[in-house]
Amino acid sequence: MIFKHIETREDIAESFPVMRELRQHIDDADIYRERIERQQREGYKLLGVWQDGKLSGLAGYRHLENLIYGRFTYIDDLVVSHKSQRSQFGAGLIAEARRLAKADRRAFLVLDTGLANSLAQRFYFRNGLLSRGLHFSQALEETGA
């Protein structure tokens, strides 16, 4: 496994098919690239995992701070290509995100998952992430984002 941050337009374009497996509502590669670039300007980092020269998984994360967790790392996106599932790439991405968080002196690693996504929940439990609450949201006016 080789981990590398995705920063160039070419790497972002290469990552689109893998991210599309998680974020199916984003069906335009240019919109995807624009969103990634905009988020990167705000501190988002996209970590890829390669094996045998092929991108196999992604973890999008941000280093943040709030009153609940203090300084923490939030994983926005975590996906392993369907062909690479059960390969330990997901566990590797979490471990690498954890290592990067610790190196930046973050107190917590945090992510959200859907309530109905029991397979992901079991995976997160096996990788040391414990459920600490529910995440609530409300759709506001369409912002074009």
Mean pLDDT of 119-136: 91
> In terms of residues, how long is the chain?
145
**Domains (range + CATH), the chain:** 2-126 (3.40.630.30)
pTM for the structure as a whole:
0.90
pLDDT per residue as tens digits for the range 57-111: 999 999 999 999 999 999 999 999 988 777 899 999 999 999 999 999 999 999 9
Burial of 145 (C-beta count, 10 Å sphere; 0-12/13-18/19+): exposed
**Rounded Cα–Cα distance for residues 106 and 66 (Å):** 11
How would residue 144 be classed by pLDDT, with cut points 50, 70 and 90? low
How would residue 13 be classed by pLDDT, with cut points 50, 70 and 90? very high
